[in-house]
C-alpha cells in the first residue's frame, strides 16, 4: 500500500472511530439521564401518593370519630369544612348505595352542581377512584353509612407527564447536539477544502510563472531551421503544445483559487462550455480506451449564469468518473442538455453504460471522503456537489444506477429572461 493510501486509511479510520465513539457516548448519556429522570420522578410520585393516602386515612378516622361522638354534629361539620374542604386532592363521599353526596376538587364540577349530567360524571369518576385507590368505609354506631374515595392531586397528575417532557427535552438536546456536531464537521471539511485549494493554487502559481517566463525567452530566441550557429532552432509546434499545457495549468490554478470565495457568475453559452469539456476528453480517449465514445447531444437552451471555470471543473469530474466506470472497449458516455417543461431550469444529463453504483453506496456518493474505488480520496463528487449546489444554486442528483446504465442529472436555474426565451423558443 502506498503512503498516501495508508495515510488516508488511517485518517478515515480515526475519523470513523471518533464519530462512532461520540454517537455511542451521546446515546448512552441520553439513556442514562432519561432512566434517572424517570426513576426519580416515579419515586417522587410514589411518595406523594403514600402521603396522600395517609392523609385520607386520617380524614376518615377523624370523620368517623366525630360521627360516633355523643356530642352534636358540630364537630362533623367542622371536620368537613376545615379538613375535607381544604384538601388539595379530589374527594368524593358516597352514600350506602354508592351515590355521590359530597365532593370537592373535582375539575369542572363545582360542589354546588347537582345536575343529572354532573352526577353521572361523578359516578364514573368515583368508580375510577375506587379502582385505583380503593374505598374507605365510614361507620356510625357500627352501621355503614358512607364511602370515602379520592383521586390523585393535580401535582401528581402533572408529575406523571414529567418523564415524557424530560425525555422530550433530552431528545431535543440530543438532536441539537447531533446537528451541531454535523455542522462543525462540515465547517471543518470546508476549511480543509479551502485551505487545500488555496495552497494548491499558490504552489502551482510559482512554477507556472517560471514556465511562462522561459516560454517567452524561448519564443524570442526561436529561429527557423538552418539558422546560423549561436542561434537556437525551436520547433513551433512544440512551443504551442507547451503553451496549451501551461494554459491548462493556469486554468487549474485559477479553479483552485476560486474555492472558498464567492465566484462571479456571467451569462454563458452552456452548450459551448460542455462542448469544450467533451473535446478535452475526446482528445485523450486513446489513453483511456480506443472503444470508448463520448457523445454530446446539445439542446436548444438559453444562456445560463455560470462561472465557466468552476462549472467545467465539475463537468470534467463527472466525465472522468464515467470514463473510469465504463469498459475501455465498448464504453459509451452520452451528455445532453435541454430545458424541461417547467422552463425554470436547464437540465444536463450524463449517462454511461458502466458497472453502476452499488445500491448501498448510492446515498453516500456525495459525501466527502466516501469512495468505492481502491484508489481515490472520495472528493470528486463532493466537489461537484459544492460547485453546483452552493456556487450555482443548482442541484446534482443520481437519477438511477444499475449495471449498464448510470444517469446523473444537473439542474441549473434560469434567469427570468432565460425563462422567457425558453417559453418563446428563442434561445
CATH number of 263-424: 3.30.565.10
Q: Which of 73-77, 242-246, 259-263, 291-295 shows the highest mean pLDDT? A: 291-295
Q: Is the pLDDT of residue 222 over 70?
A: no
* 263-424 and 20-152 share a CATH fold: no
Q: pLDDT at residue 2 above 90?
A: no
Retrieve residue 321's grid coordinates: 468518473
Q: According to the model, what pLDDT value does residue 8 have?
A: 41
Cell matching residue 264: 462571479
- State the pLDDT at residue 1: 42
State residue 156's pLDDT score.
76
In order of 61, 132, 155, 289, the CA distances from 125 in angstroms are 23, 11, 18, 84
Does residue 418 have a pLDDT over 60? Answer: no
Residue 204: per-residue pLDDT: 65
Kindly indicate the confidence band of residue 408, based on its pLDDT and cuts at 50, 70 and 90.
very high
pLDDT digits (tens, 9 = 90+) for 300-350: 999 999 988 889 889 988 998 898 889 888 899 999 999 988 778 899 999
Q: Mean of the pLDDT values across residues 178-198?
A: 66
pLDDT(217) > 70: no
Of the listed ranges 13-22, 211-220, 380-389, 391-400, the least confidently predicted one is 13-22
The SS3 call for residue 333 is: strand
pTM to 2 decimal places: 0.48
Task: Give the separation between CA 146 and CA 140, rounded to whole angstroms.
Answer: 9
Rounded Cα distance between 217 and 219, Å, is 5
- Architecture in CATH for domain 20-152: 2-Layer Sandwich (3.30)
**Average pLDDT over the chain, rounded to an integer:** 75
pLDDT at 422 over 70: no
Residue 185 has pLDDT above 80, yes or no: no
Question: Beta-carbon neighbour count of residue 110 at 10 Å?
Answer: 10
Task: Give the residue, 139 or 326, on which the prediction is more confident.
Answer: 326
Contact 62, 79 (CB under 8 A): yes
Query: Residues 210-236: what's their mean pLDDT?
Result: 61
State residue 296's pLDDT score.
Answer: 95
pLDDT at 288 over 70: no
DSSP string, 400-411: EEETTEEEEEEE
Instruction: Compute the average pLDDT of residues 399-403.
Output: 92
Query: What is the percent of the chain with per-residue pLDDT over 90, rounded to a whole number?
Result: 16
Exposure on the CB side of residue 413, measured as CA atoms within 13 A: 11
pLDDT of residue 423 exceeding 80, the answer is no
Nearest in space to 80 (alpha carbons), one of 107, 53, 103, 48? 103
For 184-212, what is the mean pLDDT?
62
All three cell numbers of 289, joined, read 480506451
280 has pLDDT over 70: yes
Percent of the chain with pLDDT over 70: 65
Give 118's pLDDT tier (boundaries 50, 70, 90): confident
> Is it the case that residue 414 has pLDDT exceeding 80?
yes
Tell whether the model's pLDDT for residue 284 goes beyond 90. Answer: no
- Which is nearest to 332 in space by CA: 401, 274, 409, 406? 406
Residue 298 has pLDDT above 60, yes or no: yes
Of the two residues 393 and 205, the one the predictor is more confident about is 393
pLDDT at 52: 78
Across residues 395-401, what is the average pLDDT?
A: 93
83-105, pLDDT tens digit by residue? 555 667 788 888 878 888 878 78
Amino acid at each position: 500500500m502506498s503512503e498516501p493510501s495508508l495515510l488516508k486509511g488511517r485518517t478515515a479510520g480515526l475519523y470513523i472511530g471518533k464519530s462512532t465513539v461520540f454517537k455511542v457516548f451521546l446515546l448512552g448519556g441520553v439513556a442514562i439521564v432519561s432512566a434517572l429522570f424517570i426513576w426519580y420522578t416515579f419515586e417522587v410520585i410514589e411518595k406523594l401518593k403514600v402521603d396522600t393516602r395517609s392523609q385520607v386515612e386520617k380524614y376518615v378516622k377523624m370523620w368517623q370519630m366525630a360521627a360516633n361522638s355523643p356530642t352534636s354534629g358540630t364537630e362533623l361539620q367542622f371536620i368537613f369544612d376545615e379538613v375535607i374542604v381544604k384538601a388539595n386532592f379530589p374527594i368524593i363521599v358516597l352514600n350506602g348505595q354508592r351515590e355521590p353526596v359530597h365532593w370537592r376538587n373535582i375539575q369542572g364540577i363545582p360542589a354546588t352542581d347537582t345536575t343529572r349530567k354532573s352526577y353521572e360524571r361523578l359516578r364514573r369518576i368515583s368508580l375510577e377512584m375506587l379502582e385505583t385507590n380503593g374505598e374507605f368505609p365510614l361507620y356510625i354506631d357500627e352501621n355503614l353509612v358512607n364511602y370515602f374515595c379520592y383521586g390523585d392531586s393535580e401535582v401528581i397528575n402533572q408529575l406523571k407527564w414529567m418523564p415524557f417532557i424530560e425525555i422530550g427535552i433530552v431528545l431535543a438536546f440530543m438532536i441539537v447536539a447531533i446537528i451541531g456536531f454535523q455542522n462543525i464537521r462540515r465547517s471543518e471539511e470546508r476549511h480543509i477544502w479551502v485551505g487545500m485549494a488555496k495552497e494548491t493554487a499558490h504552489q502551482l502559481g510559482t512554477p507556472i510563472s517560471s514556465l511562462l517566463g522561459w516560454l517567452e525567452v524561448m519564443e524570442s530566441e526561436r529561429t527557423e531551421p538552418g539558422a546560423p550557429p549561436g542561434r537556437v532552432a525551436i520547433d513551433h509546434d512544440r512551443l504551442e503544445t507547451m503553451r496549451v499545457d501551461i494554459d491548462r495549468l493556469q486554468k487549474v490554478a485559477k479553479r483552485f483559487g476560486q474555492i472558498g470565495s464567492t465566484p462571479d457568475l456571467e451569462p454563458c453559452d452552456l452548450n459551448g462550455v460542455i462542448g469544450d469539456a467533451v473535446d478535452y476528453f475526446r482528445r485523450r480517449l486513446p489513453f483511456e480506451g480506443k472503444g470508448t465514445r463520448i457523445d454530446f447531444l446539445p439542446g436548444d437552451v438559453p444562456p445560463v449564469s455560470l462561472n465557466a471555470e468552476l462549472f467545467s471543473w465539475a463537468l470534467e469530474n463527472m466525465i472522468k468518473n464515467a470514463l473510469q466506470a465504463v469498459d475501455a472497449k465498448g464504453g459509451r458516455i452520452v451528455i445532453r442538455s435541454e430545458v424541461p417543461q417547467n422552463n425554470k431550469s436547464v437540465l444536463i444529463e450524463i449517462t454511461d453504460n458502466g458497472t453502476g453504483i452499488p445500491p448501498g453506496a448510492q446515498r453516500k456518493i456525495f459525501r466527502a471522503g466516501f469512495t468505492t474505488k481502491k484508489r481515490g480520496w472520495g472528493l470528486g463528487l463532493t466537489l461537484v456537489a459544492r460547485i453546483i449546489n452552493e456556487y450555482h444554486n443548482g442541484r446534482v442528483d443520481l437519477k438511477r444506477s444499475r449495471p449498464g446504465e448510470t444517469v446523473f442529472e444537473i439542474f441549473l436555474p434560469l434567469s427570468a429572461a432565460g425563462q422567457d426565451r425558453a417559453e418563446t423558443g428563442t434561445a
